[in-house]
A = this chain, B = another copy of it.
Amino acid sequence: MAIYSYDRLVKFVQAVFIKMGCPEADAITATTVLLSADLRGIDSHGVARLSGYVRLWEAGRINAKPNLRIVHETPSTAVVDGDAGLGLVVAPFAMKIAIEKAKQVGTGWVSVKNSNHFGIAGYHAMMALQEEMIGMAMTNASALVAPTFSVEKMLGTNPIAVAIPANNQPSFVADFATTTAANGKLEILQRKNQDTPIGWVQDKEGNASTDANILKKQGALLPLGSDREHGSHKGYALGSIVDIFSAVLSGASYGPWAPPFPAYIPMPENQPGQGLGHFLGAMRIDAFRPAQEFKEHMDHWIERFRNATPAPGYEKVLIPGDPEREMETIRIKEGIPLVDAVEQDLILVASNFKLTL
């Protein structure tokens, strides 16, 4: 385990995106989005994925100089064609459009096609906060999840993020996969050679499993709720809604046709759309009630929930976004720890591009 300062990683990641051919402004945006995951403690979605993006670019599946454009719009909606660009660049472009539309008519909703992985959903949702808006972001992803009663993998971990501003309290920021456990949690257990709890995954026959490597053996992640008795049909519905809003509404590839992130996995045949899809939304607070009044009530909401009576053994009840914000404060100051495998991976990327980490 080595510790890297945020600034050092910023310089390196920007240099990599520049080497890939990204315009400087795009390289800066992509780096900010990617590293926001490391800062917030979502290690699976940060620099650990940099080599994956590079390999997609090498395979010709990422266009470093995309022509991002609106292909359809109304006063409160748009569809953006990401032109196979980095999702890390496409999603902020689309979120800015959602914010501009919200300024004009109260809310803005943008569905995106022909994109790639966009980092953490929370980053894009949080772009709305400084505008006194509520932000939402979701994306589909390659199929790792079996719907209730299925052994076939049909959905990605399809995350949903919602960011809501408060006044003196920090913002409410929820950002979660619509599965019981995100794939990144499995990767951590794989590295430690540990089992998963029952309820995270199933084997290829649909039996409960605790094998953290089960995805490599035709097993599947389970929707939030784990099994029918505990509401997995709700997690399946949520993941489906994300898939439909992100990909069917925009014209991206949905369900089992969503493009895989690992470049060595072939693209599913008979693609019904183009690339991955995202869905981004912004709602102006004062399109509903005066922003100051709302934010004071959010303070009241947050304070009341934070002071709910905790269960014995727990110090306090958390507000969505608390753990990530605390992690960010620590990592900005103390640096970002990289496990050996990730560090080696970055050294390899550096050497291929004749850069130094």
Query: A109–B107 contact, CB under 8 A?
Result: yes
In the assembled complex, the Cα of A355 lies from the Cα of B77 at a distance in Å of 51
Within the assembled complex, what's the spacing in Å between the Cα atoms of A289 and B112?
11
Complex Cα distance, B13 from A176, in Å, reads: 42
Tell me how many chains of this kind the complex includes. Answer: 2
Kindly state whether residue A184 has any CB partner on chain B within 8 Å.
no
Q: A100 at the A/B interface (Cβ < 8 Å)?
A: no
Q: Verify if A300 is at the interface (C-beta below 8 Å from B).
A: yes
Contacts of A45 in B (CB 8 A): none
Indicate whether A251 reaches chain B with its CB closer than 8 angstroms.
yes
Query: For A237, what are the chain B residues with a Cβ–Cβ distance below 8 Å?
Result: 162, 174, 176, 320
Tell me if A275 is interfacial: C-beta within 8 Å of chain B: no
Interface contact A105-B76, CB-CB below 8 Å: yes
- CA A320 to CA B233, docked complex, whole Å: 8
Give the Cβ gap from A293 to chain B, nearest Cβ, in Å: 8
Does A330 reach chain B (CB closer than 8 Å)? Answer: no
Answer whether residue A118 sits at the interface, using C-beta atoms and an 8 A cutoff: no
User: Would B317 and A149 count as touching, CB distance under 8 A?
Assistant: yes
Assess whether A262 is interfacial by the CB under 8 Å rule.
Answer: no
B-chain residues with CB within 8 Å of residue A172 when the two chains form the complex: 240, 244
Our pick among B111, B229, B231 for the contact of A224 (Cβ within 8 Å) is: B231
**Does the CB pair B244–A301 fall under 8 Å?**
yes
Interface presence of A294 (CB below 8 A): yes
Q: Is the CB of A255 within 8 A of B79?
A: no
Q: CB of A17 within 8 A of chain B?
A: no
A288, B250: Cβ atoms closer than 8 Å:
yes
CB-nearest residue of chain B relative to A111?
A: B288
Contacts of A180 in B (CB 8 A): 225, 230-231
Looking at A225, A248, A297, A309, the one whose CB has the most chain B CB atoms below 10 A away is: A248
Q: Which of A60-68, A150-158, A345-353 contacts B (4 or more CB under 8 A)?
A: A150-158
In residues 121-152 of chain A, which contact B (Cβ within 8 Å)? 134, 146-152
Interface-central residue, A75, A148, A249, A298, by most chain B CB under 10 Å? A249
Closest 8 CB pairs of A and B: A206-B311, A74-B106, A174-B237, A77-B106, A75-B105, A77-B287, A149-B314, A76-B106
- Known A147-B305, A151-B311; 6 more pairs at CB < 8 Å: A72-B288, A181-B231, A200-B230, A233-B318, A233-B320, A240-B305
Question: Which residue numbers of A lie inside 8 Å of B, CB to CB?
Answer: 72, 74-77, 79, 104-107, 109, 111, 134, 146-152, 154, 162, 164, 172, 174, 176-181, 197, 199-200, 202, 205-206, 224-226, 229-231, 233-238, 240-241, 243-244, 248-251, 254-256, 272-273, 283-285, 287-289, 294, 297-298, 300-301, 304-305, 308-312, 314, 316-318, 320
11 contacts between A and B (CB under 8 A): A74-B284, A77-B288, A79-B288, A111-B288, A147-B317, A149-B311, A151-B310, A176-B231, A197-B229, A250-B288, A254-B297
